[in-house]
């Protein structure tokens, strides 16, 4: 660990609270005597038929900086599929961010995140499925997962977590995540509900779920992206007119247009042109008004986002060798340098046999099969079970755009509690919100795919309103509670 990084960490310690009694998985960085709250990192071991090769799911658990014994426990899952939830910890909603200007750790700085969700909640960052990040199977090199196996493993990992941290069983529990967590979250919540119905000793005090910029229906995601792209000027009027004529029966609407499954060969031709215009333009697909952090020609091929094939279908992220630690247009160098430092690995209790940490695992060693064309029926089931659901979207994200979320969830025909309106932070519009019985649809103005990273203050305000079950943006108190 370099001297400049140590200095940055020591400065952070000045604003942090003292650690309490030790736990086997407790994180104690050798250069830091204090952290904002207690942290734990280790493995949730899932035994299988071959006890010599159990699945080892890595977690990083950070207690609330406010009232850990009474604040909710929140599980956070990043998507991909194949991307690590430690990205959520170190770049989005965790208590500190790591930034590196080069591959040399002397250029790294360690910064407190004053809008961390751990200010109000105990947060579990779980690297799932196995084969992602530090999660692994001993002596394994090829990892094959699917939607259902991931949900089962995540559920059993949670049971292991609450066996290890029994003192948190009584706390309210919420499942959250972004992107492909639009699939991970509802499939896991359904298993938790079913498990709670079967037994009492493994009861999880489940209250609700929140998904940011999530994929929920492949058809809707594909079709809405074409509308989003055209109305944001990403391809020409001529191409749009051809799409409307051959894909939309001459009338552009979400009900008449089918850009993905249309048998018309001219529709297929122009739809492919639209996809090429969008995804090969060099634009930052995670935030169309943000700059691209590296050579756009080295994009990951996000086949999972634009595929026409129906499940079951194997999908994986094909990593370009020049940017193997990044995702399209987004730099992940800071977390990569930090998490692969031997001192950090030791502090996080990562054994030597565990793999090198990568932001996203991809082809050929990580292969993933999607089982669902849409998970909207699962969301509908969960609403009938009276779980609270928040669906939020940064409104400049192209990968999982806000239009698709509106189309899918408005289509559930829930009773409207409050019509579409703005919500505010610091007296300024932070986005728009519409509320139904048990369901909230919310946008975050100016944010891309990773809302807690791109709009951290608005994200924390939204999160607080969700866990407190109060109106969004009506209690504008952020600076009073969390001064910078």
The set of catalytic residues is 179, 397, 449
Rg (C-alpha) for the chain, rounded Å, is 22
Q: Is 118 helix (H, G, I), strand (E, B) or coil?
A: helix
Nearest-CA neighbor of 214 among 80, 371, 378?
80
The residue with tokens 């409207």 is 416
Contact of 395 with 212, CB cutoff 8 Å: no
How many other β-carbons are positioned within 10 Å of the β-carbon of residue 349? 17
Chain centroid offset of residue 357 CA: 17
Whether the ω angle into residue 129 lies within 30 degrees of 0, i.e. cis, is yes
- Coil/strand/helix, residue 345: helix
DSSP secondary structure letters along 190-225: HHHHHHHHH-STT---EEEEEEES---BHHHHHHHH
Structure tokens at 288: 């169309």
Paired residues of 45 in beta bridges = 56
* Chain centroid to CA 58: 16
| Tokens 């939830």 belong to residue | 85
User: Residue 400 to residues 254, 282, 417, 433: CA-CA distances in angstroms?
Assistant: 16, 17, 25, 18
Task: Identify whether the C-beta of residue 209 lies closer than 8 Å to the C-beta of residue 187.
Answer: no
Q: How far apart are CA 137 and CA 131, in angstroms?
A: 8
Please tell me the distance from the alpha carbon of residue 405 to that of residue 427, in angstroms, as a whole number.
26
Q: Quick count: other Cβ atoms within 10 Å of Cβ 297?
A: 9
Give CA torsion, residues 453, 458, 459, 464, to 10 deg: 150
Residue 35, beta-bridge partner list: 17
Report the C-alpha gap between 188 and 147 in whole angstroms.
10
Taking the CB of residue 150, how many other CB atoms lie within 10 A of it? Answer: 24
Beta bridge partners of 314: 369
């Amino acid at each position: 660990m370099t001297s400049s990084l140590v200095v940055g960490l020591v400065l952070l310690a000045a604003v942090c609270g003292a650690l309490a009694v030790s736990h086997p998985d407790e994180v104690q960085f050798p250069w830091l005597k204090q952290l904002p709250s207690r942290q734990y990192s280790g493995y949730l071991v899932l035994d299988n038929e071959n006890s010599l090769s159990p699945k080892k799911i890595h977690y990083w658990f950070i207690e609330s900086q406010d009232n850990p014994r009474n604040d909710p426990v929140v599980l956070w899952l990043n998507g991909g599929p194949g991307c690590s939830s430690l990205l959520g910890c170190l770049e989005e909603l965790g208590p500190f961010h790591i930034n590196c200007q080069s591959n040399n750790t002397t250029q790294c700085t360690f910064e407190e995140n004053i809008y961390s969700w751990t200010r109000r909640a105990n947060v579990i960052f779980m690297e799932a499925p196995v084969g992602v990040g530090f999660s692994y199977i001993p002596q394994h090199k090829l990892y094959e997962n699917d939607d259902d196996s991931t949900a089962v493993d995540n559920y059993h990992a949670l049971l292991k977590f609450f066996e290890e941290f029994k003192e948190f069983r009584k706390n309210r529990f919420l499942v959250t995540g972004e992107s492909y967590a639009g699939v991970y979250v509802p499939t896991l919540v359904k298993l938790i509900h079913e498990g709670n119905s079967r037994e009492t000793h493994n009861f999880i005090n489940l209250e609700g779920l929140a998904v940011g910029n999530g994929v929920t229906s492949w058809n809707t995601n594909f079709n809405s992206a074409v509308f989003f792209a055209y109305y944001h000027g990403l391809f020409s009027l001529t191409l749009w007119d051809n799409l409307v004529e051959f894909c939309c029966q001459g009338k552009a609407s979400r009900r008449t247009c089918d850009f993905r499954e249309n048998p018309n060969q001219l529709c297929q031709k122009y739809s492919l042109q639209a996809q090429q215009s969008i995804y090969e333009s060099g634009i930052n697909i995670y935030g169309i008004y943000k700059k691209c952090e590296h050579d756009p020609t080295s994009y990951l091929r996000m086949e999972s986002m634009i595929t026409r094939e129906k499940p079951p279908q194997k999908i994986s992220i094909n990593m370009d060798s020049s940017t193997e630690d990044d995702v399209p247009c987004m730099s992940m160098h800071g977390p990569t340098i930090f998490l692969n430092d031997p001192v950090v690995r030791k502090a996080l209790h990562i054994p030597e046999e565990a793999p090198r940490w990568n932001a996203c695992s991809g082809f050929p060693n990580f292969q993933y099969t999607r089982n669902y064309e849409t998970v909207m029926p699962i969301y509908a089931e969960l609403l009938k079970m009276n779980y609270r659901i928040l669906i939020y979207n940064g409104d400049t994200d192209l990968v999982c755009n806000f239009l698709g979320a509106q189309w899918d969830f408005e289509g559930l025909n829930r009773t409207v509690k409050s019509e579409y309106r703005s919500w505010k932070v610091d007296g300024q519009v932070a986005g728009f919100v519409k509320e139904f019985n048990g369901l909230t649809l919310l946008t975050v103005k100016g944010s891309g795919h990773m809302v807690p990273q791109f709009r951290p203050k608005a994200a924390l305000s939204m999160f607080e309103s969700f866990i407190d079950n109060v109106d969004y943006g009506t209690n504008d108190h952020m600076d009073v509670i969390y001064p910078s």
